[in-house]
Amino acid sequence: MSDIEVSFPAPCSQSWDAMEPRGCNRHCAACDQVIHNLSEVGFEEALSLLDAEACVRAKITADGTVDLAGNANRRLFAAVAAPLGLALAACSTTGLGEVTPRYEITGKTKYTEWGSVAVLTDPAGRVWRRNLDSKGAFRFSNLHATTYSLTIERNCGEPIEVGEVVVSEDDVGLSELDWPQAEDCIIIGVFRRVEPRAAG
């Protein structure tokens, strides 16, 4: 049996610490629901909660694994929501497509974190977004020469301002960008099974 991918479509902003304890779980006064702590249940019980689309507290590690009690052959993985404007900029200036040559910015972070996205912004306010791959790498292609602002948006925690990247007469390679070690991400909300993508 394969691992299962889950999503948290509408995370809740309520504080877990402020909720009334109910055994290993807590009661949320805002929605009058019991919030189940996935870190206290095994894989099979987590599946039962998943099928019921229960409201849960999930601790997600830097690689996207949902923390569960005990050991199991199968795991739950948290899906990363597709960011808005995933492809290129939302708009382009007339004549921009005629600018040649085009350049590329590549980079690699020292640490990887589940759900992190590299965000590139040009002086006109156009934005490009790229998900970091499993090794923390990203690539922006087909860029014109100018000064860009590079930020890493994290799934949990504050965005990291990398700084300005000047593209002039050559491609730009950024290596081993450094920031503090990623921490586990805590999400509270309903979780759902991600349907497998259809082949073809």
Q: Does 94 score more than 50 pLDDT? A: no
At 95 the pLDDT is 40
At 127 the pLDDT is 95
CA-wise closest residue to 6 among 65, 94, 62, 57? 65
At 10 the pLDDT is 80
| Angle made by CA atoms 82, 86, 92, in degrees to the nearest 5 | 155
Within a 10 A sphere around the Cβ of 189, how many other Cβ atoms?
A: 19
- pLDDT per position as a tens digit, 13-47: 888 999 999 888 999 998 899 999 999 999 999 99
When the candidates are 2.60.40.10, 2.40.50.140, 1.10.150.120, 3.40.630.30, the CATH number that belongs to 96-177 is 2.60.40.10
Domain boundaries, the chain: 4-81+184-193, 96-177
Within a 10 A sphere around the Cβ of 62, how many other Cβ atoms?
A: 18
Mean pLDDT of 96-106: 70
Q: What is this structure's pTM?
A: 0.63
At 92 the pLDDT is 33
- pLDDT range class, residue 96, cuts 50, 70, 90: very low
Helices of type H across 88-141: none
